[in-house]
Amino acid sequence: MKINVCIGSSCHLKGSRVIVEMFQDRLKNDNLTEMIELSGSFCLGKCNSQGVSIKVDDEIICGVTKDNFNEIYGKYVSKEG
């Protein structure tokens, strides 16, 4: 699995750096760093959303914030809900 966190200027202003750190921490805690490739990406073309845009494999997910991070992580990454 590949996770790209948008680090374009709009998402940067909405806190993409924090989201990257949260992914790093969670993936480490869950022992998934070997299995999941985390990287930054240029603008994903969804700047209008309320939060940061990310891409999980080929799916773009908009509006990621530190408040809904765990929910998003559970739904798309750990698939445990």
Query: Distance of alpha carbon 73 from its chain centroid, rounded?
Result: 8
Residue 46, interface with ligand FES (CB under 6 A)? yes
43 binds ligand FES, rule: CB under 6 A: yes
Judged by beta carbon, residue 45 or residue 74, the one nearer ligand FES is 45
Smaller CB distance to ligand FES: residue 22 or 46?
A: 46
Q: Is 20 in a helix, a strand, or coil?
A: helix
Alpha-carbon gap, residue 48 to 62, rounded angstroms: 9
Q: Looking at the DSSP assignment, which residues form a beta bridge with residue 55?
A: 4, 60
- Binding residues (CB under 6 A) for ligand FES: these are 6, 8-11, 43-47, 53
